[in-house]
C-alpha cells in the first residue's frame, strides 16, 4: 500500500472560507489557513521549488481549482496505488522501500516534484495541474520513477544538464513501459493541451537539436533552457525529447540504467551524444 499524506482537505477548508474574499486576502489566507497548517510539507516543497509566481492566478480562480481538486484527489490516490507497483517492477526493484506521497495544491509552479519530507524521499503531487486520468497515469509513472531513482542514488538529483538528460530520459522510458499505448506526446506533456505540433517539430529537428544540446551541454543556463522555463526556438521543454532520444541510443534496460552512478550516467549521455543515427 502506498505511503500517502493527503492535505487537500485543508486546501478545501481554506477555499471554502476564502472564496468570498478579494484576491489579496485570499493570498494571505492561503498562507495562514493552508500553508501554516502543514509547515513541514511546504518547507520541503519550497526547498525544491521556491517559486510562488502562479499563486495570484490560482486564488483568482479559487472556486474552479477547488472543484478540480475535489474530483482529482480520489483519482490520483487510485493511480498511485495502481502504478507504483508496476514502476517498481519495471525498474527491477523486487524488494525495496517505498517513497512517500503528498497530495496537495501548490502555487501553480509545477505539476509534481520529488523532495525530502522528514528526511524521506517524497513525491509531491500538485493537483491544480490535473488534466485527465490517462495523462495523470503517465505523470505518476514518470515522477514515481524519479522517486525510486533518488532512493537508489541515496541523494537528491543534481541539476546539471548532463545528469538531467539521463534522469529525465530514464523516467520517460519507464513511463512508456509502465503505461504503454498512449499517444506519444502524452509521455512528454501528460495530456496538457496546447502543444499540438511540438512532437512533430522535435522529430523534424532531431539531428540539429541533439547537436545543439551537445554544444550547450556545459553552459550554466542549459538545464533551465532545455528542461525548465526557457525556450529553444520558442518551444518549451525540448530537452525532454532530446533526453528520450539519448537514452534510447544506449540500448540498456531500465534496471541497468537505474544501477548507474551519477558519474556513469553522465558518461553514458556524453557517449550517446557521440553516436550517430536515430
Helices and strands (DSSP H and E) totals, the chain: 14, 6
pLDDT in tens, 210-233: 999 999 999 999 999 999 999 999
Q: Is the dihedral of CA 8, 71, 69, 164 positive or negative?
A: positive
Distance in Å from the first CA to the final CA of the chain: 40
CA 66 to centroid of chain Cα atoms: 22
Distance of CA 45 to the CA centre of its chain: 13
pLDDT at residue 245 greater than cutoff 80: yes
Task: Tell me the pTM.
Answer: 0.96
Task: Look at residue 276 and tell me whether its pLDDT is greater than 90.
Answer: no
Is 227 within 8 Å of 237 (Cβ atoms)? yes
Q: What is the pLDDT of residues 163-190, one digit of tens each?
A: 999 999 999 999 999 999 999 999 999 9
pLDDT tier, 96 (very low <50, low <70, confident <90, very high otherwise): confident
CA 66 to each of CA 11, 34, 137, 219: distance values in angstroms, whole numbers, following the listed order: 8, 13, 21, 41
- φ and ψ of 154, to 5 deg: 80, 15
Domain borders along the chain are 3-153, 161-273
Where in the chain does DSSP place strands (E)? 3-6, 100-104, 112-117, 120-126, 231-232, 235-236
Report which of 41, 221, 40 is spatially closest to residue 123, judged by C-alpha positions: 41
Amino acid at each position: 500500500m502506498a505511503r500517502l499524506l493527503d492535505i487537500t482537505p485543508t486546501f478545501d477548508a481554506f477555499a471554502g472560507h476564502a472564496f468570498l474574499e478579494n484576491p489579496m486576502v485570499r493570498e494571505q489566507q492561503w498562507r495562514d489557513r493552508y500553508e501554516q497548517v502543514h509547515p513541514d510539507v511546504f518547507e520541503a516543497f519550497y526547498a525544491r521549488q521556491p517559486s510562488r509566481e502562479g499563486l495570484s492566478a490560482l486564488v483568482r480562480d479559487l472556486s474552479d481549482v477547488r472543484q478540480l481538486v475535489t474530483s482529482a484527489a480520489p483519482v490520483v490516490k487510485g493511480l498511485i496505488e495502481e502504478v507504483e507497483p508496476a514502476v517498481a517492477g519495471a525498474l527491477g526493484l523486487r524488494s525495496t522501500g517505498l517513497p512517500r506521497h503528498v497530495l496537495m495544491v501548490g502555487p501553480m509552479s509545477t505539476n509534481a516534484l520529488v523532495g525530502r519530507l522528514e528526511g524521506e524521499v517524497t513525491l509531491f503531487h500538485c493537483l491544480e495541474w490535473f488534466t485527465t486520468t490517462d495523462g495523470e497515469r503517465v505523470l505518476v509513472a514518470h515522477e514515481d520513477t524519479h522517486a525510486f531513482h533518488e532512493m537508489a542514488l541515496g541523494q537528491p538529483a543534481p541539476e546539471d544538464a548532463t545528469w538531467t538528460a539521463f534522469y529525465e530520459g530514464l523516467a520517460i522510458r519507464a513511463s512508456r513501459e509502465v503505461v504503454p499505448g498512449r499517444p506519444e506526446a502524452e509521455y512528454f506533456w501528460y495530456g496538457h493541451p496546447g502543444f499540438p505540433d511540438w512532437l512533430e517539430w522535435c522529430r523534424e529537428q532531431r539531428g540539429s537539436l541533439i547537436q545543439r544540446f551537445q554544444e550547450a551541454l556545459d553552459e550554466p543556463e542549459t538545464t533551465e533552457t532545455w528542461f525548465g522555463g526557457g525556450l529553444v526556438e520558442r518551444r518549451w521543454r525540448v530537452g525532454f525529447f532530446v533526453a528520450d532520444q539519448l537514452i534510447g541510443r544506449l540500448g540498456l534496460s531500465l534496471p541497468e540504467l537505474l544501477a548507474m552512478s551519477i558519474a556513469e550516467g553522465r558518461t553514458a549521455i556524453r557517449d550517446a551524444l557521440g553516436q550517430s543515427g536515430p
